[in-house]
A and B are shown apart, each in its own frame.
Chain A
Amino acid sequence: MSDLFLYGWRIRTDLPLPELLPWTGDDRVPDIVVRLGSVPPRNDEDRLVTPFLSVGGDGAARFEIAEVAAFLISGGRDIVVEPAVATDAPDIALFLLGSVLGVLCHQRGFLPLHASSLAAGGGAWALAGGSGVGKSTLAAALIDLGQRMLADDVTILDDEGGGRMLALPAFPRQKLWRDALEALDIAPGRRLRSTGAMDKFERLVGSRFQNAALPLRAVCHLVSDPRLTEPLIEKLRGVAALDALMSNTYRRIAGEAIAGSGPLFRRVAAVASQVPQFELRIPHDLDRLDRIAVAVRALLDEALAEPVE
């Protein structure tokens, strides 16, 4: 299998990852290597960080989901996968591009946010929030209005220094609930996950993918507010900004265990101090999704145009 592109990293993988674009960059040694193999059981000395994740003294992390796979992630570079099911089962890729990616990020010293990110006027906007708040749905509507997407679920930031904080491009696929796809009149792709009554499907964004990193201009922390008919935006400052970013740091607990709470705090504080943070309260109204998206764009454009005090 040829190498693939993921957040600007060259990834060599035994495991099929159909959502990723092929690598067309330089002939560097792969930044990340995913191979199938056996993952040793947890050591007694390993620290149990969550019921699924343990970290060894050498910083290597072991992540296991019963009946899916075990993953061993070392040095921010090497991932060994021991599947419990067929290697092309969507759940394996789901966790690889989810929690395992989060761990990898923290090992590499990058900050991952639980956020969708979109291109806007030469920069990037990140829409952050917990699962189910509506980041992907709002992002899908903004994509339909013409904004390109950098990432759907995990936005990875690269602090270049000198005030330049970049949002990195992931892969051209969203995961959307069936009702969001229907509201946007989009035909669903491959089914990704069935949880009871609600299914999530792929939505490929094709040419609407932003394949180059962009400077992060704003982070909007989404809150679903059923009382509202129109979205509302409010600037977050100081501790409120820091707190929102901490809450929306992807796999924060893992990050604290792997990178250390000091380095993680510094990474988050750097974003809070360099990039405007907002709370964005959105109505939950799929029928008016396109108009909500237009309103969000106008609110954010206006909020960012204001002179910085």
Chain B
Amino acid sequence: MHLSDTAILAQKPGVLAAAIDDLVVIMSAERAEYYELNPIAADIWKRLANPRQVAELIAELVGCYEGDPALVGSDVRHLLTELAGRDLLDIR
């Protein structure tokens, strides 16, 4: 699946999240699986509580983590593709 940078994403309703130790665990509505998010992925997930455009999200994270835009962009797109692939996101 390819996500364009102009796609607008949000947490899919019905996906539950809980913080356990320093990780966030999310569970899909169909509750077949849980996923563990490391602190950065958890941050991204939290930001998706409201709809966000992919490009916007990348820009925010580049600012926040002072990372190389190309690397941050690539990592974020990869994570978002994973989350979307597991039906955890609403995509517009």
Chain A interface residues (CB < 8 Å from chain B) = 237-239, 241-243, 256, 261-262, 265-266, 269-270, 272-273, 309
Contact = CB atoms under 8 A, between A and B. Distances in A.
Interface in B1-45: 14, 16, 18-23, 25, 27, 31, 34-36
B21 A273 contact: yes
Size category of the B interface is 10 to 19
Contact of B23 (A238, A243, A261): A238
Nearest to A263: B16
B34 A239 contact: yes
Interface of B is mostly: strand
B17 to A, nearest CB: 9
Contacts of B36: 238-239
Interface of B: 14, 16, 18-23, 25, 27, 31, 34-36
B20 A273 contact: yes
Contacts of B27: 261, 265
B34 A262 contact: no
A256 B21 CA distance: 24
A270 B20 CA distance: 8
Contact of B20 (A256, A262, A269, A309): A269
6 contacts: A238-B21, A261-B31, A265-B31, A269-B19, A273-B19, A273-B20
B18 A266 contact: yes
Across the A-B interface, give the 6 residue pairs with the lowest CB-CB distance, nearest first: A269-B18, A238-B23, A239-B36, A273-B20, A272-B20, A261-B31
A263 to B, nearest CB: 10
Contact of B25 (A238, A261, A270): A238
A154 to B, nearest CB: 23
Contacts of B16: 262, 265-266, 269
A242 B21 contact: no
A260 to B, nearest CB: 10
A257 to B, nearest CB: 12
Contacts of B19: 269, 273
Nearest to A239: B36
Contacts of A270: 18
A269 B25 contact: yes
A237 B25 contact: no
Contacts of B20: 237-239, 241-242, 269, 272-273
B34 A243 contact: yes
A237 B21 contact: yes
- Most chain B beta-carbon neighbours within 10 Å: one of A239, A256, A261: A239
Nearest to A245: B20
A239 B20 CA distance: 8
A262 B30 CA distance: 10
A208 to B, nearest CB: 33
Given A239-B36, A243-B34, A261-B31, A272 B18 contact: yes
Contacts of A265: 16, 18, 27, 31
Contacts of A272: 18, 20, 25
A196 B18 CA distance: 44
Contacts of A242: 18, 20, 25, 34
